[in-house]
Structure 1
Amino acid sequence: MVVPEAGLPAAVTIHEVGPRDGLQNESAVVPTEVKAEFVRRLVDAGLGTVETTSFVPAKWVPQLGDAEDLFAQVRDLPADLPVLVPNERGLDRALELGARHVAVFASATETFAQRNLNRSLDAALDMFEPVAARATAEGVRVRGYLSMCFGDPWEGPVDPARVVDVGARLLGMGCAQLSLGDTIGVATPGQVTALLARFAAAGIGADKIAVHFHDTYGQALANTLAALRAGVATVDASAGGLGGCPYAKSATGNLATEDLVWMLTGLGIDTGADLGRLVATSAWMAGHLGRPSPSRTVRALAGER
C-alpha cells in the first residue's frame, strides 16, 4: 500500500555499491564473469548507477584485482558505472578504460585514515586533490566518500564539526557529491538530522549529499528516512545487503537495496527499480556466495528462510 509522506523527495537515486563495496570483503574470490553478470542484472533491474569496482593494487584488495577485465566487460552498459580510485595511478587506470565517474575515499577520523590509507588525514586529502583536479579537467565526475561520520571503533563518537570540515574540503577540491558514511553502523536518526543541519548551516545543501548507512544495529532504514526528510535524494545501498558477513560480529553489512526499494515504494517515491528483478538477482548472487541473503525483503519475496 502506497502512503506518501509530505516533504519527501519525489524521486531518489539509488547508488548501488554491491559489486564494489558489497563484494570487496568476500574471502573467496568471485569470478570476473560472475561479477560482470551481477552488474548486468542490476542494470537490467532498473538501477541507473552501479558502482562497479575499485582500481586499487591487487595486494590491497585481492577481490578487486580484476578491475580492468571487469570494467572492460560492462563499460558499454546503459548506466552510470562509477569506480573507486585511491590515487593518481588508479585514476590513470580508470581513464585508460574510459571511466566517466570516479570516487575517492576519505576518512573523518585520523585513526581510520592511518589504518585504511597508511597516512594522515591531511596527507590523504593532499593525495586526493590532484586526482579530483585531473578528473574534473577530463570532464569526469568525482564523488567523495567520507567514512566514520558518526562513530569510529578506535576514537568513539565523531565530532560533527570535523565531519563538516573534511566534507567541505572534499567538495572544495572538485567532488560533485559527498557520500556520508556510517561505516560501523552506530548512527541513529537524531544524529543524522543534526549532522545534515550542520552541513546546511555551513552552506552545503542536501543536493550535494548522499548517505551510506550500514545496518549493524538495524538503524539503516530509519537513518535513511531521516536523511530524506532533510532533503537528501541519493542513497547508497547494496543488493542483498552485501558488504559484510552477517555471521561475523566484526563485519557490518550495507543497507540492502531491496529493503530500501520496499520502503521508498511504500512512500510513493520513484526509484526506477524493478523490485522483483532485484530480488531475483540477489538470490542468484547468494547462491554463488553459498549463503542466504541477509536482506529481509529478499528473504520474504524469494521465500528464503
Structure 2
Amino acid sequence: MNTIQKIELPEKVIICEVAPRDGFQAEHEWIPTEEKISIIRQLAKTGIQSMEITSFVHPRAIPQLKDAEQVVESVQDLTNIKFRALVPNVKGAQRAIDAGVKKLKLMLSATDSHSLSNANCSVEEAQKGFYPIIELAEKHNVKVGGSISVAFGCPYEGTVAIERISSIVERYKMMGVEEISLADTTGMANPQQVYRMLGFLKQNYPGIIFSMHLHNTRGMAFSNVVAALQQGVIHFDSSIIGLGGCPYAPGATGNIATEDLVHGLSEMGIHTGIDLNKLIEAAKEVKQVIGHDGGSYMLQAGPCSQLHAKPKVQEKLV
C-alpha cells in the first residue's frame, strides 16, 4: 500500500494587516480620519498583532494618506499591536519617527521600469538613497525593514529573474536590513515560482527574515501562500476585505483578504492568534464604511464551519 507523505508546514504564522496603508491608498473617495482610526481600533480587537498603519509620502502623491501623523498619534494607546509605516525618503522617515512609529518599511521596486514610474530613478539609485534613512532610524532606535515590489513579475518587464532579486537582497544585507518583504504587486506570481525563489533566497541568505506581500489579482494569492509555507515562511501581509492596489502598477488589485487568509490557515491547522468571527464582523463594518470590498470570499460564502439546514424529506408523488 502506498503511503501519503505529510508535508511539514509551520504551526503558526504572523499576519500583518496592511489595509490602513495599502488598502486606503487605493481609495479615491476621501476616508475621514476618524473613520480610519475607528477601523484600526476595530481590527485591533480581532487579535491582529502587526499592522502597516500608513505611509509618510508627500500629500500630493497620495492625498488619501495626508493625515498620517494624526492617525498614528491617535492610536498610540494600542500597545498590543506593532505598528510600522512605509517611508519613501528621509523627510518621510523623520515625520514617521516624530509621530511615534517604531518600525519603518522602505519602498523599492525590483525593476528599473517600475522604479522609474514609482520613484523616478533606477533601482540601484533608489536603494542607495536608503542609507540616510537607516542612519536616522538607528539614531532614534527605530527598526527598519526592506521591501521589493513587483518581485515576481513586473507589468512593464514581465518575469523578474531570481538573480536580480538576489542582488537587491545582497545590497539590503550590506545596509544591515534583516527583514525583507517580497511583494507580488500585480499578482503575477505562481506557486512554483514562489517556492523556487524562496528556496534560493533562504539558502543563500539564512540570516534574512523573508515575508510575503501577495495581491490576488489573478486568484493565485492563497496558492502562493501555501508555496511560501512549504519553504518555512511565517510572515504574511494581508488586507481586510481584500482592499489595496498600486497606483504605479497597471491592473493591480487588492491584497489577499485577511479574513480569507486566516480562514484558510485555520482550516489547515495553522495558528494565527486572530479570532476569525471577530475578523469577519470587522470586515462587514469596513465594507459598509468603504462602500465595496476587494473580493472577500468570507463575505461572499462564509467560513466552512457555517453549515446550512439539511433539506427535509419530500413526500414522494405517486
TM range (shorter): over 0.9
Cα distance per residue 1:13-35 (max 9 Å; x no partner): 00110110011010001000111
| Stretch deviating more after TM superposition (288-297 or 37-46) | 288-297
Superposition pairs for residues 163-242 of structure 1, below 5 Å? Answer: 163-204=165-206, 208-242=209-243
Superposition pairs for residues 17-96 of structure 1, below 5 Å? Answer: 17-78=18-79, 79-96=81-98
SS in 2 for 1:148: coil
Deviation of 1:280 after TM superposition, in Å, equals: 1.2
Bigger CA radius of gyration? 2
- Give % identity: 39
CA distance in 2, matches of 1:42, 1:168: 35
Q: Which residue of 2 aligns with 1:114?
A: 116
| Stretch deviating more after TM superposition (269-278 or 167-176) | 167-176
SS in 1 for 2:130: helix
Kindly indicate whether the alpha-carbon contact (under 8 Å) linking 1:16 and 1:49 is maintained by their aligned counterparts in 2. yes
- What amino acid is aligned across from residue 111 of structure 1 in structure 2? S
Kindly indicate whether the alpha-carbon contact (under 8 Å) linking 1:133 and 1:174 is maintained by their aligned counterparts in 2. no
SS in 1 for 2:237: strand
Q: Which residue of 1 aligns with 2:310?
A: none
CA distance in 2, matches of 1:106, 1:293: 25
- What amino acid is aligned across from residue 58 of structure 1 in structure 2? P
Deviation of 1:296 after TM superposition, in Å, equals: 0.4
1:255 aligns with 2:256: yes
Q: Which residue of 2 aligns with 1:290?
A: 291
Kindly indicate whether the alpha-carbon contact (under 8 Å) linking 2:240 and 2:257 is maintained by their aligned counterparts in 1. yes
Corresponding pairs, count: 295
Kindly indicate whether the alpha-carbon contact (under 8 Å) linking 1:142 and 1:174 is maintained by their aligned counterparts in 2. no
- What amino acid is aligned across from residue 48 of structure 1 in structure 2? Q
SS in 2 for 1:74: coil
Deviation of 1:292 after TM superposition, in Å, equals: 4.2
SS in 2 for 1:56: coil
Kindly indicate whether the alpha-carbon contact (under 8 Å) linking 1:108 and 1:149 is maintained by their aligned counterparts in 2. yes
- For structure 2, the 5+ residue unaligned runs are 1-5, 307-318
SS in 1 for 2:147: strand
Cα distance per residue 1:96-122 (max 9 Å; x no partner): 122111101111101111110111111
- What amino acid is aligned across from residue 299 of structure 1 in structure 2? Q
Deviation of 1:255 after TM superposition, in Å, equals: 0.7
Deviation of 1:138 after TM superposition, in Å, equals: 2.3
Kindly indicate whether the alpha-carbon contact (under 8 Å) linking 1:171 and 1:177 is maintained by their aligned counterparts in 2. no
Kindly indicate whether the alpha-carbon contact (under 8 Å) linking 2:104 and 2:144 is maintained by their aligned counterparts in 1. yes
CA-based RMSD = 1.8
CA distance in 2, matches of 1:239, 1:139: 30
CA distance in 2, matches of 1:228, 1:132: 30
- What amino acid is aligned across from residue 186 of structure 1 in structure 2? M
| Distance verdict in 2 for CA 1:175–1:203, change over 3 Å | closer
Q: Which residue of 1 aligns with 2:300?
A: 299
Cα distance per residue 1:133-178 (max 9 Å; x no partner): 3213422111111111111111111111101111222233132310
CA distance in 2, matches of 1:129, 1:115: 22
- What amino acid is aligned across from residue 56 of structure 2 in structure 1? F
When normalised by structure 2's length, the TM-score is 0.89
| Stretch deviating more after TM superposition (165-174 or 268-277) | 165-174
- For structure 1, the 5+ residue unaligned runs are none
When normalised by structure 1's length, the TM-score is 0.92
- What amino acid is aligned across from residue 9 of structure 1 in structure 2? P
Kindly indicate whether the alpha-carbon contact (under 8 Å) linking 1:144 and 1:171 is maintained by their aligned counterparts in 2. no
